[in-house]
Amino acid sequence: MSQEKPLFAKRFRGYLPVIVDIETSGFDPVKNAVLEIAAVIPAMDENGRLSLHETHASHVNPFPGARLEESALAFNKIDPFHPFRIALDEVDALSKIFQPIRSAIKRNGCTRAILVGHNPAFDIGFLNAAVARSGIKKNPFHPFSTFDTATLSGLVYGQTVLAKAAQAAGLDWDNSEAHSAVYDAEQTARLFCAIVNRWADLAGGAIQA
């Protein structure tokens, strides 16, 4: 008798949604550095409802020759060379993030992860560039497909700015915490879960393939 697939494996065409936020030293994924990365892995209950399950994060050392834009550092308030930052080089930071994602993919019977982000083209661009620089052969994420919470929240709540969309979804928002990778990733994850759960409620339960 074959074992029933986990519900997650049926919900998003075999993909495991992982919510990612990346803080950088500019807008060019080739020339600018990844400075912080956070990834939130959700859990799904027997009714198909999502919740935050685990968060993994790392400060990242700028790669050699990276361009550090003063305007970007002023915006995200990151000092790349702060002595107490406890940052890892890109390859080690990515390995730290990817290992639990690979475990979650296997645990949930999925084929690979799909990046969920607020305007995720930015995050997937920097992630792919960092993977290429690091020589990592097995990226758990789909290389170009993503879920965009800006688009989803524009549809559901009429808001596309993360802070306003989160508040429209009934979430708290602390401007003093914003633009750190962990805070933004977890708030984006809460927003994504709220949208998926609202759709499940409207559809009368979990949607299965």
Tell me the C-alpha distance between 3 and 78, whole Å.
48
The residue whose two tokens read 């633009």 is 179
| Residue from 84, 83, 92 nearest 34 by CA | 92
Which residue in the block uniquely carries the two structure tokens 């029933």? 4
Buried b (16+ CB within 10 A) or exposed e, 81-105: eeeeeebbebeebbebbbebbeebb
User: What radius of gyration, in Å, describes the C-alpha atoms of the chain?
Assistant: 17
Query: Residue 198 contacts by C-beta under 8 Å, 6 or more apart in sequence?
Result: 156
| One-letter amino acid for residue 207 of the chain | I
The active-site residue out of 56, 82, 142, 179 is 179
Sheet with 15-24, strands from edge to edge, namely 50-59, 34-44, 15-24, 112-117, 141-148
Calpha distance 45→104 (Å, rounded): 15
Dihedral sign, CA of 119, 192, 111, 40?
A: positive
Which three-class secondary structure state does DSSP give residue 143?
Answer: strand
- Residue 179 annotated among the catalytic residues of the structure: yes
Residues annotated catalytic, as ranges: 179
